[in-house]
Amino acid sequence: MTTSTSTHYRSCPLCEASCGLSLTVDGEQRVTRIAGDAADSFSRGFICPKGAALHHLHEDRDRLPGPQVRRGDDPDSARWESVSWEEAFAEVERRLTPIMDAHGRDAVAAYLGNPNTHNPAAPLYIRPLLKALGTRNIFSASTVDQMPKHVSSGLLFGDSNSIPVPDLDRTDLLLMLGANPWESNGSLCTAPDFPGRLRSIQDRGGRFVVVDPRRTRTAEHADEHIPIRPGTDALLLLGMLQVVCAEGLVRLGRLEPLVQGMSSLHDWVRPFSPDKVAPRTGVPAATIARLARALAQAERAVVYGRLGTHTVESGTVAAWAVDVLNLVTGHLDEPGGAMWPLAAHQRPGRGRGPGFSTGRYHSRVRQYPEVRGEFPVATLADEIATPGQGQVKALVTVAGNPVLSTPDSGRLDRVLRQLSFMVSVDPYRNETTRHAHVILPPPPPLSRSHFELAFAQLAVRNVVKWSPALLPPRGPSEAEILARLSLIAGGQGAAADPALVHTLLERGLLASRIKHHPALTDHDVDALRDRLWARAPEDRCYEVMVRLGAYGDQFGQVAGGLTLEQLSTEPHGVDLGPLRPRLPELLRTASGMVEVATAPIGKAVAELAASLETARPEGFVLIGRRDLRWNNSWMHNVPILARGRRRCTLHMHPQDAAELGLSEGQTAHVASRVGRIAAPVEVTDSIMRGVVSLPHGFGHDLPNVALSVAAANAGVNTNVLTDPERLDSLSGNAVLNGIPIRLSAHDLSAGDEPS
């Protein structure tokens, strides 16, 4: 036995911040300690409790050791059996193929959860899987999250992935809505040590303002906290736009020749004077006007809106208004404003493209338009439960827990039982995967390489890093699991060689990347493949992207250009500099302009204007919240993170609690149009009156869930209350914040629900 220890550096894959970690590994190949990597080019030593517990997550005893097959029809009482990988894939083929043959491609649905964005192999390998399935019934966590921002970016800039991020390190004024980075560590804005970067704004004489119905930890540190009535950010932002337009504060600067639709914008925002929107938002008219003027007059300023701004009924209008405010006040694509990174795996664009649209086809039951090739996950249960041609009979989930994370999840939990077959790629048997017939557990995060695909495109600096796998995997990689599922879905069978998919991906990536390449168009794809340095299939894809990316060596054509081999010698990452202006090159609209006034937004803004004339909604509304020590539904099983006081509580203002006769720790009964729950009250003046808050991701007490630590502190599932019919119409995103509810100290009887 050897006792020597070694230190390794790699990125934390658990949230968007992608912090550099320093891991101590003992002679037995066990990680004994994790600290922040002080030399990391981006995070400079920052770490949070989740990153420091990554090895505990890696070693979680409840992580499934291998594939499992369910024996028995009732997920509440069924027995689970460990099988070999070959048996598991054979079982998938045996049960999935007949359903596709008998009922057609749309009879199989797919749900893709959030951790797919944290695993770079997933976006690469999910594409061939979805292609092989050939189904239109694709759902993901995007429609309980950021879909509004995709739609607004698509409409404005022609590319739904071109989301501008606040240039935190150079701004002097940040107006932040519906985000709580002190707990979340940031979202659609990759900025390790987000809190430290906010403090730096203050240290250099700037300030940041938080708009949130709760006085969050972020709001406590802010220079100003502005409480807002949930669901009304679009009105506040339109009010600010009205002030900017009416007071002649519009300043497009160098973007003037690149902007289309300004006269419509002036017309659209006219009805939204601060006086009109103040009673709706709860934000005083004078505050709205003051914020607008401050933004317009600041040299370096930026508006940033996140989850609380997006997961509401006018999420897309709010997302659009954020960018338009930045644009008209001269803060878009400018240092200190909202800018776009250019990641190492990306290439600059050509300033024009096909543009963005939605609704190429519609969902079967509720006729929701397709958005980025998906339907709202809020309608997944409808597609399973409603008989007829095209009914969903089978489901593939990858890294998702919709039974806790999506609307009306009590119903989803019931209707998943109707499926003829379900297969889940997931390390745990949890609330969702207990419904599966086969569970295929991927290796834990320390057993795979890491390269930022998603978040490098959202980072506040251009940075690149590649972390090779640290510990050997016990079974097939997630890439291989997904490749084998693709082969089954594509009819090649369970025994087909996954190398077929690896090669297809590699060749496809190379071919598309050299197609318009000035120096490589004539090159042979296979000759270039022979020159790849990496061995693992997913690493070879990252290598192609890096070498043919904006800073790459272009296969030897650019001296000193990046290669993956070079990145293997840079465990702290490579800093590629601050964000640089990208307009017009990044645009993919048909006009080659920023299209401010597209028809879908115009219609939605007109509807909002009309709503100002109707009666103001009354009654309690429910919002969510996050906590630094867990991530959505799946980190409650790590003892060191689960310790401490009870956290699945209903936050309530002291006066509201007094009026309802509720006090600290007592049970509150909560009913919405679709469900009811009971939760312990936590009285706090950090939440505004008329609003209560409950975190999501709890409710671990369902039968046959194998999460021993989480089950001991099960909590309640707030999404039992979320109404599946309340969506942001432009994006299909669920309304998770601002849900009308009824509250009582006593059991609520049927008929008590708000309408």
Ligand X SMILES: Nc1nc2c(c(=O)[nH]1)N[C@H]1C(S)=C(S)[C@@H](COP(=O)(O)OP(=O)(O)OC[C@H]3O[C@@H](n4cnc5c(=O)[nH]c(N)nc54)[C@H](O)[C@@H]3O)O[C@H]1N2
Which is nearer to ligand SF4, 16 or 408 (by Cβ)?
A: 16
Pick the piece of the chain touching ligand X (CB under 6 A) from 140-148, 259-267, 286-294, 500-508: 140-148
Please tell me the count of residues contacting ligand SF4 according to CB under 6 A.
12
Which is nearer to ligand SF4, 192 or 443 (by Cβ)?
A: 192
Q: Choose from Mo ion, ligand X, ligand SF4, none: what does 623 bind? Cβ within 5-8 Å by kind.
A: ligand X
- Kindly tell me the burial class for residue 745, based on how many C-beta atoms sit within 10 Å of its own C-beta (0-12, 13-18, 19 or more): middle
Which is nearer to Mo ion, 145 or 183 (by Cβ)?
A: 145
Site for ligand SF4 in 697-726 (CB under 6 A): none
Pick the piece of the chain touching ligand X (CB under 6 A) from 75-83, 125-133, 427-435, 548-556: 427-435
Site for ligand X in 32-91 (CB under 6 A): none
Q: Choose from Mo ion, ligand X, ligand SF4, none: what does 14 bind? Cβ within 5-8 Å by kind.
A: ligand SF4
**Smallest separation, CB 286 to ligand X (Å):** 19
Alpha-carbon gap, residue 261 to 594, rounded angstroms: 9
- Establish if 19 lies at the interface with ligand SF4 (CB under 6 A): yes
Which is nearer to ligand SF4, 50 or 393 (by Cβ)?
A: 50
For 360, the token pair is 């190429």
* Residue type, position 498, single letter: P
**371 φ, ψ to 5°?**
-130, 120
- Establish if 12 lies at the interface with ligand SF4 (CB under 6 A): yes
- Residues of this chain that interact with Mo ion (CB under 5 A) are 145
Alpha-carbon gap, residue 376 to 365, rounded angstroms: 12
Which is nearer to ligand X, 135 or 401 (by Cβ)?
A: 401
Site for ligand X in 382-411 (CB under 6 A): 398-402, 405
β pairing state of 173-177 and 301-305: parallel
- Establish if 48 lies at the interface with ligand SF4 (CB under 6 A): yes
Residue of the chain from 25, 31, 50, 390 that contacts ligand SF4 (CB under 6 A) = 50
For 547, the token pair is 């070498």
Which is nearer to ligand X, 332 or 720 (by Cβ)?
A: 720
Residue of the chain from 341, 634, 673, 700 that contacts ligand X (CB under 6 A) = 634
Which is nearer to Mo ion, 91 or 145 (by Cβ)?
A: 145
For 601, the token pair is 């937004």
Residues 6+ apart with CB under 8 A from 307: 145, 146, 178, 179, 184, 187, 737
- Establish if 494 lies at the interface with ligand X (CB under 6 A): no
- Establish if 184 lies at the interface with ligand X (CB under 6 A): yes
**Smallest separation, CB 504 to ligand SF4 (Å):** 32
Q: Quick check: 719 and 632 in contact, CB under 8 A?
A: no
**Smallest separation, CB 63 to ligand X (Å):** 9
Q: What angle is formed at CA 217 by the lines to CA 214 and CA 218, rounded to 5 degrees?
A: 90
Q: Quick check: 563 and 528 in contact, CB under 8 A?
A: no
Residue 354 CB neighbours (<10 A): 10
- Establish if 477 lies at the interface with ligand X (CB under 6 A): no
Residue of the chain from 37, 60, 93, 233 that contacts ligand X (CB under 6 A) = 233
Q: Choose from ligand X, Mo ion, ligand SF4, none: what does 148 bind? Cβ within 5-8 Å by kind.
A: none
CA pseudo-torsion sign 150, 155, 160, 163:
negative
- Establish if 155 lies at the interface with ligand X (CB under 6 A): no
**Smallest separation, CB 445 to Mo ion (Å):** 18
Residue of the chain from 23, 25, 31, 47 that contacts ligand SF4 (CB under 6 A) = 47
Based on C-alpha coordinates, what's the Rg of the chain?
25
Which is nearer to ligand SF4, 16 or 595 (by Cβ)?
A: 16
Q: What angle separates helix 262-269 from helix 599-611, to the nearest 10 degrees? A: 10
- Kindly tell me the burial class for residue 644, based on how many C-beta atoms sit within 10 Å of its own C-beta (0-12, 13-18, 19 or more): exposed
Which is nearer to ligand SF4, 51 or 75 (by Cβ)?
A: 51
User: Using CB atoms, what's the residue nearest to ligand X?
Assistant: 308
Q: Quick check: 590 and 352 in contact, CB under 8 A?
A: yes
Residue of the chain from 135, 137, 142, 185 that contacts ligand SF4 (CB under 6 A) = 185
Which is nearer to ligand X, 119 or 729 (by Cβ)?
A: 119
* Residue reference for tokens 């609690």: 657
- Establish if 426 lies at the interface with ligand X (CB under 6 A): yes
CA pseudo-torsion sign 373, 402, 363, 591:
negative
**Smallest separation, CB 171 to ligand X (Å):** 17
For 314, the token pair is 């006018």
Residue of the chain from 43, 114, 287, 729 that contacts ligand X (CB under 6 A) = 114
User: Using CB atoms, what's the residue nearest to ligand SF4?
Assistant: 51
- Establish if 733 lies at the interface with ligand X (CB under 6 A): no
- Establish if 17 lies at the interface with ligand SF4 (CB under 6 A): yes
- Establish if 430 lies at the interface with ligand X (CB under 6 A): yes
Q: In what order do the strands lie in the sheet with 621-623?
A: 739-740, 621-623, 691-693, 650-652, 676-683, 667-671, 742-744
Q: Choose from ligand SF4, ligand X, Mo ion, none: what does 51 bind? Cβ within 5-8 Å by kind.
A: ligand SF4
DSSP 70-110: EESS-TTT-EEEE--HHHHHHHHHHHHHHHHHHH-GGGEEE
Q: What is residue 139's three-state secondary structure?
A: strand
Which is nearer to ligand SF4, 8 or 95 (by Cβ)?
A: 8
Which is nearer to ligand X, 550 or 628 (by Cβ)?
A: 628
**334 φ, ψ to 5°?**
-125, 145
For 327, the token pair is 């644009």
Site for ligand X in 691-710 (CB under 6 A): 696-697
Residue of the chain from 67, 75, 213, 282 that contacts ligand X (CB under 6 A) = 213
Alpha-carbon gap, residue 662 to 653, rounded angstroms: 10
Secondary-structure percent of the chain, ordered helix, strand, coil, rounded to 5:
35, 15, 50
Which is nearer to Mo ion, 316 or 391 (by Cβ)?
A: 316
Pick the piece of the chain touching ligand SF4 (CB under 6 A) from 16-24, 82-90, 287-295, 301-309: 16-24
Which is nearer to ligand SF4, 235 or 641 (by Cβ)?
A: 641
Residues 6+ apart with CB under 8 A from 299: 172, 336
Q: Choose from ligand SF4, Mo ion, ligand X, none: what does 212 bind? Cβ within 5-8 Å by kind.
A: ligand X
* Residue reference for tokens 């003037």: 256
**Smallest separation, CB 42 to ligand SF4 (Å):** 10
Residues 6+ apart with CB under 8 A from 73: none
Residue of the chain from 10, 51, 233, 547 that contacts ligand SF4 (CB under 6 A) = 51
User: Using CB atoms, what's the residue nearest to Mo ion?
Assistant: 145
* Residue type, position 333, single letter: D
For 678, the token pair is 């009971």
Alpha-carbon gap, residue 144 to 378, rounded angstroms: 8
Residues 6+ apart with CB under 8 A from 545: 344, 345, 453, 509, 513
Site for ligand X in 306-335 (CB under 6 A): 306-309, 312
Residue of the chain from 9, 14, 152, 396 that contacts ligand SF4 (CB under 6 A) = 14
Which is nearer to ligand X, 171 or 722 (by Cβ)?
A: 722
DSSP 262-278: HHHHHHHHTT--HHHHH
Q: Which residues bind ligand X (CB under 6 A)?
A: 15, 113-115, 119, 141, 144-145, 177-181, 183-185, 187, 211-214, 216, 228, 230-231, 233, 306-309, 312, 398-402, 405, 425-428, 430, 442, 478, 623-628, 630-634, 696-697, 718-719, 722, 736-738
Q: Which residues bind ligand SF4 (CB under 6 A)?
A: 12, 14-15, 17-19, 47-48, 50-51, 185, 192
